Amino acid sequence: MTGTDLRPIVLLLGPPGAGKGTQARFLRDTLAIPHLASGDLLRDHRRLGTPLGIEAQTYMDRGDLVADQLVIDMVMERLGRPDARRGALLDGMPRTRAQAEIVDGMLADRNSAVRAALYLDVPTEILVERIAGRWLCPSCQATYPGRSSTPPGNGTCTECRDQLYQRPDDRPDVVQHRIEVYLSSTVPVIEHYARRGLLVRIDGDRSISTVRMSLVISIGGVVIGRRRARWHLFVNHDFRAVSGDAPWHGRTLCGHLVNSHTDPGLGSEDDFRSHPCHECHVAIRARPGGISHTGPRTR
């Protein structure tokens, strides 16, 4: 079995307030794979009254944390659905080293493998400031920055017009404790994937578009165009479920193929900033659609 025979799984890790939700939507659309967040799966199973949801409710009724294996079973059930056959993005999961080891083994049994663990690294003081001032949409889960006492704009979501709210546990002292708890349990996960050569640290204390640029480079790179001296962002084909030898090793955000035999070497973030492809640049500023798989162009 070759590496490209395995269904690729991408992990997005980071403490509360690091921007995982915003960047997860971008990665989901860019990679054209489903975004799986353990919290969303838990809520869905409880709402639908599935056997997994009923079992999870028994833990919550007792005031206990839902067992690791139950959360993992929910993730694996979701990975068995047709839309995840080409891969998936796991958001905030696994959270402990024990979970990571179990997930790795269960993925291997399902012809899947973690291709990259992307960690959004943000200083604690910035996280507290962000979370204490964030407002949420109850319908689409969109997040809006603001102040702890005043919602942004007119207080409604720009997407679905629902009234924004703040979580009761988003007070600065509670937030500080949540972050400390997260880091204490997640540092071993980071070390686990670092030892396997899969961890990529991303500076999350920058603009959304700059973080997006770094995320794409971490799962692909920067390559210059053949017709014009413009730099493109591309995603490596290893993050897509393909079999056999491929004559190309990636696809740019503007839809061109990157040929592993004829294209020049990789560039840097500075190269892309200096002379970016307009379409690739727009893709990291706006919310992009999935990369097209029909009628590929050559760059």
> For every residue of the chain, which 3-state class applies, written as one string?
CCHHHCEEEEEEECCCCCCHHHHHHHHHHHHCCCEEEHHHHHHHHHHHCCHHHHHHHHHHHCCCCCCHHHHHHHHHHHHCCHHHCCCEEEECCCCCHHHHHHHHHHHHHCCEEEEEEEEEECCHHHHHHHHHCEEECCCCCCEEECCCCCCCCCCECCCCCCECECCCCCCHHHHHHHHHHHHHHHHHHHHHHHHCCCEEEEECCCCHHHHHHHHHHHCEEEEECCCCCCEEEEEEHHHCCCCCCCCEEEEECCCEEEECCCCCCCCCHHHHHHCECHHHHHHHHCCCCCCCCCCCEEC
Which stretch of 184-188, 205-209, 225-229, 266-270 has the lowest confidence by average pLDDT? Answer: 225-229
Residue 193 has pLDDT above 60, yes or no: yes
What is the phi/psi pair of residue 158, to 5°?
Answer: -75, -20
Q: What is the pLDDT of residue 269?
A: 94
Residues 6+ apart with CB under 8 A from 59: 65, 66, 67, 70
> Chain-wide mean pLDDT for the chain?
84
Q: What is the pLDDT of residue 9?
A: 94
Residue 156 has pLDDT above 70, yes or no: yes
Provide mean pLDDT across the span 267-271: 94
Whole-structure pTM value: 0.82
Q: Of all residues in the chain, what percent carry a pLDDT higher than 90?
A: 44
Q: What is the pLDDT of residue 264?
A: 63
Q: Which residues, listed in sequence order, are joined to residue 12 by a DSSP beta bridge?
A: 91, 118
Contact at 8 Å (CB) between 260 and 247? yes
Residue 232 has pLDDT above 80, yes or no: yes
Name the band, by pLDDT with cuts 50, 70 and 90, for residue 242.
very low
Residue 279 has pLDDT above 50, yes or no: yes
Phi-psi region at 271: left, alpha or beta (left = phi > 0; alpha = psi -120 to 50): alpha
Q: What is the pLDDT of residue 290?
A: 38
Q: What is the pLDDT of residue 229?
A: 85
Q: Reply yes or no: is the peptide bond before residue 94 cis, omega within 30 of 0.
A: yes
Q: What is the pLDDT of residue 5?
A: 60
Residues marked active site are found at 20, 95, 134, 167, 178
Q: What is the pLDDT of residue 33?
A: 92
Map out the domains of the chain as residue ranges. 3-125+173-205, 134-169, 219-298
Contact at 8 Å (CB) between 128 and 17? yes
Rounded to whole angstroms, the Cα distance separating 22 from 289 reads 14
CA angle 245, 246, 250 (to 5 degrees): 140
Residue 49 has pLDDT above 60, yes or no: yes
Rounded to whole angstroms, the Cα distance separating 36 from 13 reads 12
Could you identify the residue written with the tokens 């997407």?
159
Name the band, by pLDDT with cuts 50, 70 and 90, for residue 149.
low
Q: Chain centroid to CA 212: how far?
A: 10
Residue 114 has pLDDT above 80, yes or no: yes
Q: Which residue has the higher pLDDT, 24 or 297?
A: 24
Q: Which residue has the higher pLDDT, 10 or 93?
A: 10
Q: What is the pLDDT of residue 282?
A: 94
Contact at 8 Å (CB) between 255 and 291? yes
Name the band, by pLDDT with cuts 50, 70 and 90, for residue 292.
very low
Highest mean pLDDT among 61-70, 210-219, 220-229: 210-219
Name the band, by pLDDT with cuts 50, 70 and 90, for residue 151.
confident
Provide mean pLDDT across the span 33-49: 90
Neighbours of 158 (CB within 10 A): 12
Q: What is the pLDDT of residue 248?
A: 56
Q: Find the radius of gyration of the CA atoms of the chain.
A: 20
Residue 87 has pLDDT above 60, yes or no: yes
User: What is the fold, at CATH topology level, of the domain defined by 3-125+173-205?
Assistant: Rossmann fold (3.40.50)
Residue 204 has pLDDT above 90, yes or no: yes
